[in-house]
Amino acid sequence: MLVTGSGGQLGLDLAELLPGRGHEVVALSRRDLDIADARAVDGAVGEHEPGVVVNAAAFTNVDLCEEETEAAYAVNALGPRNLARACEKRGASLLHVSTNYVFDGGQERPYEPFDAARPISAYGRTKLAGEEYVMRLTNRWTVVRTAGVYGQGHNFVRTMLRVAGERDVLKVKDDEFVSPTYARDLAEGIAGIIEEEGYGLYHLTNAGSCSWYEFTREIFRLSGVETELVPIPGSEYPLPAARPANGVLSALGGPTLRPWQEALADYLEREAAAGAARG
């Protein structure tokens, strides 16, 4: 297996998890391979001859995508296109990781895999374009949409814990909903899909959903943080990119992961153990 974007949260966990499941893995970070470079992608796939390529590379700074749309399109759309072409040329399968931001968030129920995609941000539009390239340019494709990923490196959980140490009161949005997803669980779910040759379109998140305020409240409860939390509407915290108010994905027809509360508790325990080990 060839894993692109191996320096990101999901890529790191994929590179650690897959060998333990008996897979030979070549893990390439952005420094090793820029997927927006078609010639480099073709060369890498030709050199390593993978049976499966897992694309975890993406331009994920949602607000910066609004300013640097061309760069976002190069990575999020043209990158998957390049991988799809290279995989089709050499008979490799391609699993591409996408996002709940392909939806506008306007409906009340969780989004099912084949609900109409209507992105409302540059990030969402470029990720949807990447999905479409993958589906059209290769036959052995899998697209896995996920949401609210946290794991190794910079993420929402670490940010909230850091900010809690700097402020007495913290305001968090309570009208945007998501299924927070632990990158390690996501990696395990992806591994299972690959091993079962489950081609097609999937939604894969930890089970259940919450607002960002509720997620933060659980982070603080599990961590023993006493900083005061105040729920606010998203209108009080405007950002350059629009977010889907309902970012919850339905796992209809696909694998399910454990509840987000269990995953968060596991993550925080691992973080505490790692911190203790570092001294």
Q: Catalytic: which of 73, 101, 111, 123? A: 123
Any idea which residue has 């949409």 for tokens? 145
Any idea which residue has 């409302």 for tokens? 120
Q: Which two tokens stand for residue 90?
A: 């050499």
237 is catalytic: no
**Cα 87 to Cα 85: distance, rounded to the nearest angstrom:** 5
3-state helix/strand/coil string of the chain? CEEECCCCHHHHHHHHHHHHCCCCCEEECCCCCCCCCHHHHHHHHHHHCCCEEEECCCCCCHHHHHHCHHHHHHHHHHHHHHHHHHHHHHCCEEEEEEEHHHCCCCCCCCECCCCCCCCCCHHHHHHHHHHHHHHHHCCCEEEEEECCEECCCCCHHHHHHHHHCCCCEEEEECCCEECCEEHHHHHHHHHHHHHCCCCEEEECCEECCEEHHHHHHHHHHHHCCCCEEEEECHHHCCCCCCCCCECCECCCCCCCEEEHHHHHHHHHHHHHHHHHHHC
**Cα 84 to Cα 90: distance, rounded to the nearest angstrom:** 10
Q: Which residues are catalytic?
A: 123
